[in-house]
Structure 1
């Protein structure tokens, strides 16, 4: 199996998964949010932030999907590297707010690592090898 096949599969699965997560936050935030790892439920109008999180996740997945469909592999690699920061930020947020360390590391930390690895592998797969031009002898 080629590296391109592996990275394409991982990126496509990641895009579909994060869209699914986003839709879950938009459609059923009350059942999805407890799995995020934070210790308390948002109070008052705070529940609206769960919808925002869902929209953020959906858009993140759509960006990956567009880059896959348009075959912008180099850009896909860089976007994956940058999107790994979202999962890393989620992990640090859960830890900073005394949430579940197990969820922080096993869900968000693992996601950040997998997305980063996929991005780096995609960048490796797409790097261009340049050769020096040698002038022709006459």
Structure 2
């Protein structure tokens, strides 16, 4: 299997995953949020912030989808690297607020690492290969 096919499968799987998570936060935040790793449920009208998280995840997935479907693979690689900051930020947020270290590293940290790997592989696939200069004959 070519690197391009592997990268396409990895990117598509990541896109489907983040779209699923986003839709879960929009449609059923009360059942999805406990798996995020934070120690407590938002108080008052804090549930609206969970829907914001869902919308953020859906938009992230749609941006990646557009790049994948339009064939902008180099841009896809760079955007994957940038979007890896989201699960990394989620991981640090969970850790900073006394949440589950297992979830922080096992869900958010692992997700960030997988997104970085996919981004780097995609950039590697799209790098330009230049031929070595041919020495001039004298």
TM superposition score normalised by structure 1: 0.94
Specify the alignment match of 2:97 in structure 1: 97
Find the aligned partners of 2:7 and 2:90 in 1 and give their Cα distance: 24
- Counterpart in the other structure of 2:2: 2
Gapped runs of 5+ residues in structure 2? Answer: none
* Matched residues, number: 136
What is the CA-CA distance between 1:133 and the residue it aligns to? 7.6
CA RMSD of aligned residues (A): 1.4
User: Deviation string for 1:58-104 (max 9, x for gaps)?
Assistant: 00001111001100000000000001010000000000000000000
CA-CA distance at 1:129 after TM superposition: 1.8
Q: In structure 2, how many angstroms separate the alpha carbons of the residues matched to 1:15 and 1:23?
A: 12
| TM-score, length-scaled by structure 2 | 0.94
Distance (whole Å) between structure 2 residues aligned to residue 61 and residue 91 of structure 1: 19
